[in-house]
Amino acid sequence: MRFEAIIFDCDGTLVDSERVGNAVIVDCAQELGLSITIEEALEHFAGRKMADTIDLIAQWLGKPVPDWFLPTIRQRMAFAFEERLTAMDGVHELLQKLLIPACVASNGPQDKMQISLKVTGLLPYFDGRIYSAYDCGSWKPEPGIFLFAARSMGVNPSACAVVEDSPLGIQAALSAGMTPFGYTPDGDDARLAIGDTRTFTDMSSLHDLLR
């Protein structure tokens, strides 16, 4: 392979968590009197750090959210993930075939990723190589989380492939000087066709793309 390491986003790339997690946000927002659909939540919140999501909800409400809001979201998400979370189709098979080191780099906190990867059986593939934006203080679309992951693995950024499902993640990978691959299981390739990003809809095809 022409790459020395591959960096995976977590939510929506390795684990099918975007719809599950955003459904929790929708329910909590409704308790504040804000009515939004799951489609609207996915459009505006997917790939964002939670602080930005909270700020946007407060903006729509026209007032700050109460102190209980964020802890409640985190708690309910953890329960929802343990009950309903699954790995994206083909991820286990792909990881079993990889010949280069792989890691996870996400805007989410460590405890959320640990739960997601453990519940879906993916944790053994990445144990010790799970990097959070909270660890380095840089959130996508800033490149810092990817540069932090590459440095931690001892790999030059230019030798890293990045697998992402959001425009924010693609922008971060490009800014880091890495090669992004846009995962679009819904077939909406145009959403991630940023720069020279290669898009794909099936995890089983990624192994060949990496060559």
Question: pTM to 2 decimals?
Answer: 0.84
Residues 112 and 143 reside in one and the same domain: yes
Instruction: Tell me the pLDDT tens digit for each residue of 78-130.
Output: 889 888 899 999 999 999 999 899 999 999 999 989 999 999 999 999 989 99
pLDDT (average), residues 167-177: 96
pLDDT (average), residues 162-191: 93
The domain in which residue 101 lies consists of 5-16+85-210
Instruction: Tell me the pLDDT tens digit for each residue of 48-59.
Output: 888 899 999 999
Least confident of 89-93, 147-151, 183-187: 183-187
The CA distance from 204 to 211, in Å, is: 13
The CA distance from 146 to 134, in Å, is: 12
Catalytic residue among 9, 11, 16, 165: 9
Instruction: Report pLDDT for 1.
Output: 63
Residues 44 and 130 reside in one and the same domain: no
Whole-number mean pLDDT of the chain? 93
| 67 in catalytic set | no
Residues 24 and 124 reside in one and the same domain: no
Q: How would you write 27-95 as a 3-class SS string?
A: HHHHHCCCCCCHHHHHHHHCCCCHHHHHHHHHHHHCCCCCCCHHHHHHHHHHHHHHHHCCECCCHHHHH
Q: Which of 102, 123, 97, 98 is nearest to 112 (CA)?
A: 123
Q: For the chain, how many structural domains are there in total?
A: 2
Residues 11 and 27 reside in one and the same domain: no
Boundary-marking domain end, from 54, 84, 114: 84
Residues 54 and 151 reside in one and the same domain: no
